[in-house]
Structure 1
Amino acid sequence: MQAKQPAHKENTMISVAGKVILYTGAAGGLGAETTLNFLRAGATVVALDNDPVKNTALQTSADKEGLANLVIRAVDLSDLAALRTSLEDLSREVGGFDVVINNAAIYPSKPFEDYALEEMQRVQRINVDAGIVCVQVALPHMRERGWGRIINIASVTSNGGWANLSPYVQSKGALIGLARAWAREFGAYGITVNAVSPGAFPTDAEKIHPDPEGYTGFVLDHQAIKRRGSASDIANALMFLASDAAGFITGQTLNVDGGWVMN
């Protein structure tokens, strides 16, 4: 049965106040700033991250600003059964998830022929399958409300240009495909699904490159905008897609990359 959707509002403001956001990888390089941005805007953020140092730093940053409504859980995303149980408990605790952001990812780097199949499957399990579990747990609440936002974090690497990242690129391509499939299937319930594809941002992921200065030059050569991206660039895009203002946008991939990819 199709859920009754809220009436369309003209001139809708970009706001996530009162929304409950489930965010994987929320304490990382791009996740932390976005998490704080959502908290500042009045949302509740359920932050899943398995790095205790980053989790502590995120909580400290929120406390310094007096930001409430942050729930941090250290979760092993590779254990899908335990993840589902944890999410079901959290969903009951916070009253359901209105927004899901599938951001967490691992990114091993080596030639394709050197990967064991089990290594590739682990990347898929953390980068994609965990996101599927998040959506499965969140979906009943979204359908009941007739409103929801799902955002998959993809990557500029899906457009080529990087060697030795086959499992990672495969996983990001899967998230783009799922965004389109879910958008088609969930649209009748007032749920939008999109992907955000960040460019080459200066995060921990760049530590795999042996020549940081040369890599920065490589990035700027490919971008139309000649500065490195910042976490706030991603935070602003996610804020928009998570709001009512983006209610007529679904099944899309938004490139936030300084003009690296244009389509």
Structure 2
Amino acid sequence: MKGRTALYTGAAGGLGFETTLLMIERGATVVAVDRNRTNLAELEQAARDRGPGRLLTSDADMGDLVAYRAVLEGLLAEVGGFDIVINNAGIYPAKPFEEFALEEYQAVQRVNVDAGVLAVQVCLPGMKERGFGRIINISSITVSGGWENLSPYVASKMALIGLTRAWAREFGPAGVTVNAIAPGAFPTDAEKIHPDPEGYERMVLDAQAIKRRGHAGDIANAIAFFTSDESGFITGQTLHVNGGWTMN
């Protein structure tokens, strides 16, 4: 990844942290956008001796699209363009469908989908000019069904798969690939919404063909592949990294 520059949203969270460090180890400049300033500080500390790449951070609010566009345009000017966009940031409120106000539903779409659309709008012209680009949308195993009380989140993650296919078709002639990764159940902060953690873990292991929990490195390796030159003939695809929970 030497010489590549990546925009990575939600980069300081459970799955983004390890991927960011891996990309820095492989020589990339990573611009990490995350609303959690504490997590960003921990990422900055971890990245200090990981070179030869470098880390820049921003605690932008992706729920405010007007302000977020200004932040993205400022970052773009600072680094001179992005070769890679990883749309990973997401919020996941959980409750029965009929309890969601429309404004709450729209807030999930704004952060999980619209902010990613905005990032691609800002970064795509430079990718086309250089004839190279890698866009990766982080979806979710929840789109396969089987989860209750997450309808806005599931809708947003399925929207990313649709955008992956539409963008892959449209951007391919310019040398830009677009793929999605759908992680399975990983032990991150997102699992804290479950009232019975031990029961949930048993359910996960029973469902998976591989009888261990996934770890952040599993996602980091998948992202590294999709950002590489070796994946240049793969586009419009969704890679399910879930230990064989679902098989597509």
1:56-109 deviations in whole A, cap 9, x for unaligned?
A: 110111124456510000000011111111111111110100000000000000
- Alignment counterpart, residue 240 of structure 1, candidates 222, 225, 229: 225
Separation in 2, partners of 1:68, 1:74: 20
1:38 maps to a residue whose letter is M
**TM-fit CA distance, 1:27:** 0.2
Q: 1:209 aligns with which of 180, 183, 194?
A: 194
Which letter maps to 2:101? A
2:116 aligned residue: 131
Letter matched to residue 117 of structure 2: I
- Determine the structure 2 residue equivalent to 1:76: 61
The two structures, once aligned, show a CA RMSD in angstroms of: 0.8
Contact 1:107-1:123 at 8 Å conserved across structures: yes
Task: Give the one of 36, 39, 47 matched to 1:51.
Answer: 36
Partners of 1:211 and 1:72 lie apart in 2 by 35
Listed one character per residue, the Cα deviations across residues 172-210 of structure 1 (whole Å, up to 9, x for unaligned) are 000000000000000000000000000000000000001
Contact 1:62–1:68 (8 Å) recurs in 2: no
| Structure with more contact order per residue of length (Cα contacts < 8 Å, sep ≥ 6) | 1
Paired residue for 1:256, among 218, 241, 246? 241
Distance 2:140 2:108 in 1: 14
For 2:50 and 2:132, the matched residues in 1 are separated by 30
Amino acid at match of 2:147: W
**1:217-236 → structure 2 map (5 Å cutoff):** 217-236=202-221
Unaligned runs of 5+ in 2: none
Preserved CA contact (<8 Å) 2:24 2:51: no
Query: Is residue 154 of structure 2 the alignment partner of residue 163 of structure 1?
Result: no
Shift of residue 143, structure 1, vs aligned partner: 0.2
Alignment length (residue pairs): 248
Name the % identity: 65
**Would you identify which runs of 4 or more consecutive aligned residues in structure 1 move more than 6 Å?**
none
Unaligned runs of 5+ in 1: 1-15
Determine the C-alpha separation between the residues in 1 that align with 2:70 and 2:23.
25
Q: What is the DSSP-based 3-state SS (H/G/I as helix, E as strand, rest coil) of the residue aligned with 2:48?
A: helix
Q: How does 1:3-22 map to 2 (within 5 A)?
A: 16-22=1-7
Q: Secondary structure at the match of 1:47?
A: strand
1:173 — aligned with what? 158
Judge conservation of contact 1:179–1:251 (CA < 8 Å) in 2: yes
**Partner SS for 1:150:** strand
TM-score normalised over the length of structure 2: 0.99
What CA deviation, in whole Å up to 9, does each residue of 1:4-36 have, x standing for no partner? Answer: xxxxxxxxxxxx221100000000000000000
Structure 1 length-normalised TM: 0.93
